[in-house]
Amino acid sequence: MAEREAAGERASLNGVKFLQVNHHQHAMDHQPLDSYFLQTLREVCGHMCEMDAVDADPMALYGGLLLRLCRSASEHDALTVLTNYVCGSKGGELILLPLKRRHHDTTSSSTGAEMYLPMAVPLELDLYVESGNVHAKVTMRHELGLFKRSDLESAGFQKELSPWNALVMLIQQVQQHQPHQQGSSEMKQLNQIQYNILSSSKFNKIRPWAYIDADVVERINFGTGCSVRMLHVCVPEDKNSGYVKK
């Protein structure tokens, strides 16, 4: 699954851009997918593991990188963290949703309808060897939007959003008494609501109240197995000023 997702990604590997992807992959086709980016990544992993003083298995390294290149998992984590902050503070009146991109469309690939959706921002992968260990830095940007609940309800999402406020309040109560707990069951329900709205054709023409860019950045030392993951959030001025770059 992770390899299929990565095969459809545009990417930058140590500054070299791979912007050609397979636009005709079928969601129900379970045959393996590949791309020039993944082919090059496997070769780089092999060369790194052949370097002096590097004790690593190339396929294990490749597999570990694929897990970090899974956009759906990375997006889900960013959405979960930010929903806690930006939606709870306004009593459930603001709804955070991903902007619909080509990787969200899992039903129309056989008809080519997904071609009309913008592609996600290319991921960035930096690989290097230091002190005999392979290191990686993965940066994946997720384009999100803050939507007014009233706008979504006017578009026909009253039923989907009916439990939203109660779930937000439950999560806030859990965090007040147990700050390190995220209210996992309630958050899963919020995430389900978010992706149900995203998958609906009614969502396609709704503009967000504000745009948010969320960068998930992970640094990994494959020699020691240590890693650190960060979330960088910004409000892009060009998108929020009313002028969007073509």
Q: What is the pLDDT of residues 176-192, one digit of tens each?
A: 766 555 557 888 899 99
* Residues in Cβ contact with 183 at an 8 Å cutoff, skipping those fewer than 6 apart: 170, 171, 174, 175
Any domain includes 16: no
Any domain includes 1: no
Q: Which two tokens stand for residue 211?
A: 């745009």
Any domain includes 214: yes
Any domain includes 30: no
Indicate the number of domains in the chain: 1
Any domain includes 177: yes
Q: What CA–CA distance (Å, rounded) separates 85 from 69?
A: 25
- Chain centroid to Cα 197, Å, comes to 17
pLDDT at 89: 56
Any domain includes 93: yes
Lowest model confidence (mean pLDDT) among 58-62, 100-104, 107-111, 178-182: 107-111
Domain residues for the domain of 96 are 71-240
**Residue keyed to tokens 């992968």:** 125
CA distances from 6 to 37, 69, 238 (A): 9, 6, 28
Full-model pTM: 0.86
Q: What CA–CA distance (Å, rounded) separates 160 from 237?
A: 31
Any domain includes 56: no
Per the CB < 8 A criterion, the answer to whether 62 and 147 are in contact is no
Query: Tens digits of per-residue pLDDT, 198-243?
Result: 999 999 889 999 999 999 999 999 999 999 999 999 999 888 876 5
Mean per-residue pLDDT, 102-115 = 59
Higher pLDDT: 20 or 126? It is: 126
| Residues recorded for the chain | 246
Q: Kindly state the greatest CA–CA separation across the chain.
A: 63
pLDDT at 53: 84
Any domain includes 42: no
